A and B are shown apart, each in its own frame.
Chain A
Amino acid sequence: MSTYYASLLAESGILLLGALSVYIILATGQLSLGNGAFMGIGAYLSSYLTVALNVPLTLALVISAIAAGIIGAIVAFPALRLKGIYLAMATVGFGEMVRSFFLNFDAMGGSGGYRGMQHISVGYVWLWAGGVLIAVMLLERSRVWLEMQAVHDDETAAGLIGLNTTVTKIVAFGVGAAVAAISGGLFAHHNVYIEPANFGFDRSIEFVLAVILGGSTVGPGSLVGSLLLVFLPEFLRPIADWRLAAFGTLLIVVLLVRRQGILDRSLIRTLTFRRAAA
């Protein structure tokens, strides 16, 4: 495998984690357009831990994930009062807040960025990405996931079957933030250089796009979306300047004909040759 494809593969693994972080939060009916910020927190914190304090990378990732998870849960508290588009706007605000914090955070390079991380292999990236994907797919078959879906479908009814909807939403936000932080830590150690612009609004949108394109109702949809989002523009290179336009067109077409994204429950059943349920 050429280094070129290896780096694309690593990029899609990092994007997969970002997409899953959005997916977990979306499963409770909350749309976060600020997960790039949690990614940034993970990137900066884990880089500081490995470069300045010589913490082993895996431990640094775990610490960053926990820290971002706590921040995510704290952010979720005020966000509980907001729904739909208003919540999405608030998360955009949060994202900008974090980005400008790092921009002015001179201790870690400010706008000049931060470097000195040890490069990691694509295999290590996918160990995390694959591990988290499998964990999410197992979680999807659990009762907790059904509870999240219940909150997503009808919050009032969820409360009246005895679910503490507040806790469900906050925990989902925290876990989503933690996964985004892992994505950020891997990004930092794969690129060995980070700057605040890496974790802005574009990044948050990219995560959401991967989920929506790949399939927002099943975990593996994020995998499909991440691979497409990274590799498709590359395969479209022959049409040179038009490739991004072609990509955009494709995105619109997918959303028009399949609102749930490419992958959904029934497609998975077909692909795995399981009998369709009535």
Chain B
Amino acid sequence: MSNALLQLTGVTKTFGGIHALSGMVCEVPEGKIVGVIGPNGAGKTTLFNTITGAYRADAGEVKLKGVDVTQWPSYRIVREGIARTFQNIRLFGSMTVWEHLLVAQPHSESAWRRLLPISWANPAAQERAEEVMTFFGLTELRDRPAKSLPYGIQRKVEMARAVTARPKLLLLDEPVAGMNHDEAEEIRELMIRLRDTGLTILLIEHDMNFVMRLCDYLYVLDFGVLIAEGKPEDVRTNPVVLDAYLGKDN
């Protein structure tokens, strides 16, 4: 029995005749940053959607800490401990930064606490939101409508929202897409700090250099098939991976 936090065995997802994912096998050990890389259309986002229940897997199993969550609706999967962000940021248009953190609290509260004004009834939620806000350096922006903020900061708000409920596993879908070098570095540091708090991270990225310097382990997808896996330095020199990215050298 492995001690993986997340374990996928034979996960398959087809759309019509297209195998977006076939027989995906992977393991995410606790406390690590694991990357999924691959060219466009390799099935990376499909993988995330299948893990989080947005898509139903046609075959295979997704297990979180040994619990089979494959057929669960997404809200239950989230409550079990998998949070995610989106490739194209999805914040709530009518909410401030602070409200994003309040709404994403853990789901163990009693009905009364949820129905009464947060400012009287829910000091714990406020403390947690405060804590996350400080961690992500968002304190100054507390009452700003989240969607009015610069792109890089919106990413941070989305990550902060995902982390608020204390998930076991955080899925990040291209967290540095469209960012300049400095912003990307900042996100990288955030991820390392998050890992140091004990959070496990699985991320999708196609910037090879970025994942090489960040991830403990990599999976490489192409056309929905796992073509390689291993430590970054091994994957970098793997000829199969180079072929997928650069095309075959005849």
Are B104 and A161 in contact (CB-based, < 8 A)? yes
Are A160 and B113 in contact (CB-based, < 8 A)? no
Decide yes or no whether B119 CB sits under 8 A from chain A: yes
Are B94 and A149 in contact (CB-based, < 8 A)? yes
Are B117 and A141 in contact (CB-based, < 8 A)? yes
Residue in A closest to B74 when the chains form the complex, CB atoms: A159
- Among the interface residues A143, A152, A156, A165, which one has the most CB atoms of the partner chain B within 10 A? A143
Decide yes or no whether B223 CB sits under 8 A from chain A: no
Report B-chain residues with C-beta under 8 Å of the C-beta of A146: 95, 99, 102-103, 118
Decide yes or no whether A64 CB sits under 8 A from chain B: no
Interface set, chain B 111-128, CB cutoff 8 A to A: 113-119, 121-122, 125
- Among the interface residues A138, A142, A149, A163, which one has the most CB atoms of the partner chain B within 10 A? A142
**In the complex, per-residue mask of B61-82: 1 if CB is within 8 Å of any chain A CB, else 0:** 0000000000001110011000
Report A-chain residues with C-beta under 8 Å of the C-beta of B103: 143, 146-147, 149-150, 161
Are A142 and B143 in contact (CB-based, < 8 A)? no
Are B94 and A139 in contact (CB-based, < 8 A)? no
For residue A158, give the distance in angstroms from its CB to the closest CB of chain B. Answer: 8
Report B-chain residues with C-beta under 8 Å of the C-beta of A142: 114-118, 121
Decide yes or no whether A78 CB sits under 8 A from chain B: no
For residue A154, give the distance in angstroms from its CB to the closest CB of chain B. Answer: 5
Decide yes or no whether A277 CB sits under 8 A from chain B: yes
Decide yes or no whether A202 CB sits under 8 A from chain B: no
Residue in A closest to B105 when the chains form the complex, CB atoms: A143
Decide yes or no whether A238 CB sits under 8 A from chain B: no
Report A-chain residues with C-beta under 8 Å of the C-beta of B52: 160
Q: Which of A159, A217, A277 contacts B75 (CB 8 A)?
A: A159
Q: Which of B21-29, B39-47, B83-91, B195-203 contacts A (4 or more CB under 8 A)?
A: B83-91
Take A149-B92, A154-B90 as given contacts and tell me if A161 and B83 are in contact as well, using a CB distance cutoff of 8 Å.
yes
Take A164-B75, A165-B75 as given contacts and tell me if A153 and B117 are in contact as well, using a CB distance cutoff of 8 Å.
no
**In the complex, per-residue mask of A240-278: 1 if CB is within 8 Å of any chain B CB, else 0:** 000000000000000000000000000000000000011
B residues apposed to A, CB below 8 Å: 52, 54, 73-75, 78-79, 83-84, 86, 90-96, 99, 102-105, 107, 109, 113-119, 121-122, 125, 143-144, 161-162, 165
Smallest CB-CB A-B distances: 3 pairs = A277-B143, A162-B78, A141-B117
Pick 17 A–B contacts, CB within 8 A, sort by A.
Answer: A139-B115, A142-B114, A143-B103, A143-B105, A143-B118, A146-B95, A146-B99, A146-B103, A149-B94, A157-B90, A159-B73, A159-B74, A160-B83, A161-B78, A162-B79, A162-B104, A278-B144
